[in-house]
Structure 1
């Protein structure tokens, strides 16, 4: 059966067996909706490997144009699962768990060791998946040398680091962190008869990217371009205004409940999805009016406790926020004629909010408090955008003897 609607439905049924979160499940549903739409338009709704290859090429083109990487990777993952189901009747979870078919698959014993290492680690699932890739790569390396874990030496570690640096120099932080986990495991298991100093596996500090913000004029253009006469426009305007005026994260906008808003005090009280810490934020009158306009005149009739709902039935919580809100701001920027810069997304509103506070010389502790950071270090990147303040730190030549050259005399 090569009907795209039937195949995508079957893959989704298989994915339901693995108890993904509601947000991840909705992401899969949206991705397969996109796949079906493409196949119905370009391949008469009939699956073939050739057509799937064309679909993946179209995704790579979007990726090169700077579209949301995470959302595109989700659709690529679903495309791989669709292909696997078509040929085998089963989905390829190796791809989903960062174990691409035929890539870095060591022996069964090594995989058991890796699973044990990761099981004991206090890490998030996404971080474990990434570490798994580098751990498997390392065990494939030693097995290629005819070794097992009991024969690992410092020289083996050094050789793998050198090889990894030649192949992917930007990944050395992941490589070294993963190797530390291996070494710690070997010592705890008594495989190594001596302790190994892991300090030599400390890579250089990772580089910091300065992601672009929006200017005040660009934000004004974007907000003014929203059609606030339609229910969708009222919702999108409220979400965009909430993001730029409070700096709360996309996931927290998605999870905002009606009970979280104190209309009399003009405040929002939420538990942040990232840090699990509570935060109380003031909300401007303009933002309160936008929220009220959406709730009273744009929000579908629903018993849901959440503020922002889908615009189409079923009128449930607005899930899949990262790709959804990124799409909203990208489309609105295009309508407003605001340039799409690499790295700009809905999260840029949060960065813009922090940058504006810093430019107004708001103290760093207050910036961190308003943005819900757990420590002040998280707020320091916003200070880098203060060109005026940074220029004041430049030193003069009064205390430096200049004996020649352009500045002499």
Structure 2
């Protein structure tokens, strides 16, 4: 019926949760908290994470009959945390971080009678405790070959994945890439990273540049948005948060690549692969850090784990360092 009336079919996709409506007993506190996050100059992703967790907590408290912030108890907070008991330790730590921010603010401004922040548990999350997922060269070739480059959406996906493989840009920065960010004359991309708020210049290599041109000329829908990569189902607009990762997983399956035991292999794994390849080729760690847009070189050090060939040189021979044993036993008796 919509197509008959408007000549346009809007894909509804999965059901979305209803817009957040703050309960009356939490309205002033919530609005004040959100204002403080923006005034603190936090990144958009950090603000969204803390907003979502604050909303989840408020709705949970309302479901328990807690109608105002001054009635919140430690038991309520503990019950909320139990909802995430089966999540990964890293995700639980992210929730605790958001709650410390929200509950700490509530106490500082006098909305709560006790500092519930102090009752939150502390989780020890080892820094760089995991091993990043990376891909072999032949696997990357297979993933790119699995894309139908005659299809408009395929042209977009090919350009996106090739850009990620060769530049290491984060998924959020690729989703938010604007036409004005590309300097075709200088063959580079200049943008402000969403995670850090820092500017970065990325070389626009010829294969990437031509793939973007092919998409813009022969695949991209005629929309007024300034975003380079857009949705290919109505309503047309910027890509959603999980669209790029979903596309990558689809091509991994199509390429017949076994991902068992590989850990998380989303779009960020292509960024890890670039770092690993640079290490293997002998690039210094500061150069890799600058390429990836890291503010602290310690963040880049996690990728040392994927450079197996260089790590082999660090292996010690136990026999060469074993102390000689005197006659009569280890104690010389």
| SS of the residue 1:344 aligns to | coil
2:190 alignment partner in structure 1: 269
| SS of the residue 1:269 aligns to | strand
| SS of the residue 2:201 aligns to | strand
C-alpha spacing 1:294/1:137, structure 2 compared with 1 (3 Å): closer
Instruction: Work out whether 1:205 is the aligned partner of 2:125.
Output: yes
1:349 alignment partner in structure 2: 270
Instruction: Work out whether 1:124 is the aligned partner of 2:26.
Output: no
**CA distance in structure 2 between the partners assigned to 1:318 and 1:139 by the alignment:** 34
Is the contact made by 1:213 and 1:352 (CA closer than 8 Å) also made in structure 2?
A: yes
1:329 alignment partner in structure 2: 248
Cα deviation, residue 353, structure 1? 1.7
| SS of the residue 2:298 aligns to | helix
2:285 alignment partner in structure 1: 364
Of the three residues 170, 175, 179, the one matched with 1:258 is 179
Of the three residues 158, 171, 195, the one matched with 1:237 is 158
C-alpha spacing 1:139/1:324, structure 2 compared with 1 (3 Å): closer
User: TM-score of the superposition, structure 2-length normalised?
Assistant: 0.68
- What's the CA shift string for 1:136-176, capped at 9, x where partnerless? 989999x9xxx967xx8xxx79xx87996999384367447
More helix, by proportion: 1
**CA distance in structure 2 between the partners assigned to 1:277 and 1:335 by the alignment:** 36
Is the contact made by 2:100 and 2:120 (CA closer than 8 Å) also made in structure 1?
A: no
C-alpha spacing 1:192/1:380, structure 2 compared with 1 (3 Å): same
- What's the CA shift string for 1:272-315, capped at 9, x where partnerless? 2322322111122222222222233333445554333444566x
**CA distance in structure 1 between the partners assigned to 2:63 and 2:125 by the alignment:** 27
2:6 alignment partner in structure 1: none
1:3-152 mapped onto 2 (5 Å cutoff): 33-35=12-14, 75=15, 78=16, 81=17, 91=18, 93=20, 120=36, 122=40, 124-130=47-53
Which has the higher mean CA deviation after the structures are superposed, 355-364 or 201-210?
Answer: 201-210
Of the three residues 222, 225, 228, the one matched with 2:143 is 222
Q: Which has the higher contact order (CA 8 A, sep 6+)?
A: 2
Instruction: Work out whether 1:168 is the aligned partner of 2:57.
Output: no
C-alpha spacing 1:203/1:112, structure 2 compared with 1 (3 Å): farther
Is the contact made by 2:26 and 2:58 (CA closer than 8 Å) also made in structure 1?
A: no
Is the contact made by 2:279 and 2:307 (CA closer than 8 Å) also made in structure 1?
A: yes
| SS of the residue 1:124 aligns to | helix
Uncovered stretches (5+) of structure 1, i.e. residues with no partner: 7-28, 36-74, 82-90, 100-107
Cα deviation, residue 244, structure 1? 0.7
**CA distance in structure 2 between the partners assigned to 1:400 and 1:261 by the alignment:** 59
**CA distance in structure 1 between the partners assigned to 2:297 and 2:49 by the alignment:** 25
C-alpha spacing 1:210/1:133, structure 2 compared with 1 (3 Å): farther
| SS of the residue 1:299 aligns to | coil
Cα deviation, residue 334, structure 1? 2.3
- What's the CA shift string for 1:180-234, capped at 9, x where partnerless? 86468657759999x9xx7996542347343422221111011122222333332
**CA distance in structure 2 between the partners assigned to 1:308 and 1:190 by the alignment:** 44
**CA distance in structure 2 between the partners assigned to 1:304 and 1:317 by the alignment:** 7
Is the contact made by 2:177 and 2:227 (CA closer than 8 Å) also made in structure 1?
A: yes
Is the contact made by 1:114 and 1:136 (CA closer than 8 Å) also made in structure 2?
A: no
1:299 alignment partner in structure 2: 220
**CA distance in structure 2 between the partners assigned to 1:111 and 1:206 by the alignment:** 37
Uncovered stretches (5+) of structure 2, i.e. residues with no partner: 3-9, 41-45
Cα deviation, residue 269, structure 1? 1.5
**CA distance in structure 1 between the partners assigned to 2:253 and 2:138 by the alignment:** 15
| SS of the residue 2:266 aligns to | coil
Is the contact made by 1:330 and 1:345 (CA closer than 8 Å) also made in structure 2?
A: yes
**CA distance in structure 2 between the partners assigned to 1:399 and 1:384 by the alignment:** 24
